[in-house]
Amino acid sequence: MQLILVRHPQPLIAPGVCYGSSDLAVAPEQLAQTLAALTTTLPRRLPIYSSPLQRCAILAAQLATPLQSAAPLLDARIAEIDFGDWELRPWDDIPRADIDAWAADLVHYRPGGGESVLQMAGRIAAFHADLQRQQQDAIVICHAGAMRLLLACHAGLAPADMAMQAARNPHQIAYGATLTLQS
């Protein structure tokens, strides 16, 4: 089974602002560039799963026709982490004590009262298990956090270990980038 993970295009948001589960739009030119690159490289006729957040869902919907795929299947389990009341706040405005509390417990702390990395890892593991049961190649349009957790899950890690690995290792997944998982 092959899973092709795709990160969404760059969203319309100022640098230095915390965002995860906020439903941000994508600049039309960014979307067009990402579509042009992906339609020439992604395989045809595969199911497409997508985060329901518009920065993923719009890309997935616009890929379906050129890839000769069915309508994308939106799955909230692959949405980005919920940063609670940190969402859409400049990182510099979040109290240092809150950032330090998160750094002290990367796996269990719920930033802004939102979701912990462990909670996100649990939903990502459930999504991955469902795909494994189906044993079908697929394209998954999602977020850097979801991609990092899917990589850890695919390596056989349990949710707590997935969360620790993802939390401790900063990502370098570019907007529009693809990663392929083989099993």
Give the integer Cα–Cα distance in Å for 75 and 50.
Answer: 6
| Cβ contact 143:79 at 8 Å | yes
The pLDDT value given to residue 169: 80
What stretch of H or E contains 165? helix 159-168
Tokens, residue 36: 């042009």
The pLDDT value given to residue 51: 99
The pLDDT value given to residue 166: 87
User: Which is nearest to 22 in space by CA: 97, 117, 98, 89?
Assistant: 89
What domains can you pick out in the chain, each with its CATH number?
2-182 (3.40.50.1240)
Give the integer Cα–Cα distance in Å for 123 and 125.
Answer: 5
Give the integer Cα–Cα distance in Å for 165 and 148.
Answer: 8
> Which residues, in sequence order, are bridge partners of residue 169?
none
pTM for this prediction: 0.95
Residue pLDDT tens, the chain, 183 long? 999 999 999 999 999 999 999 999 999 999 999 999 999 999 999 999 999 999 999 999 999 999 999 999 999 999 999 999 999 999 999 999 999 999 999 999 999 999 999 999 999 999 999 999 999 999 999 999 999 999 999 999 999 999 999 888 888 899 999 999 998
| Cβ contact 30:122 at 8 Å | no
Give the integer Cα–Cα distance in Å for 37 and 182.
Answer: 22
User: What number of helices (H) and strands (E) belong to the chain?
Assistant: 6, 5
The pLDDT value given to residue 123: 98
* Residue 31, number of CB atoms within 10 A of its CB: 19
Tokens, residue 73: 């299947």
The pLDDT value given to residue 168: 81
Total residue count of the chain as it appears in this document: 183
Whose tokens are 């394209």? That residue is 139
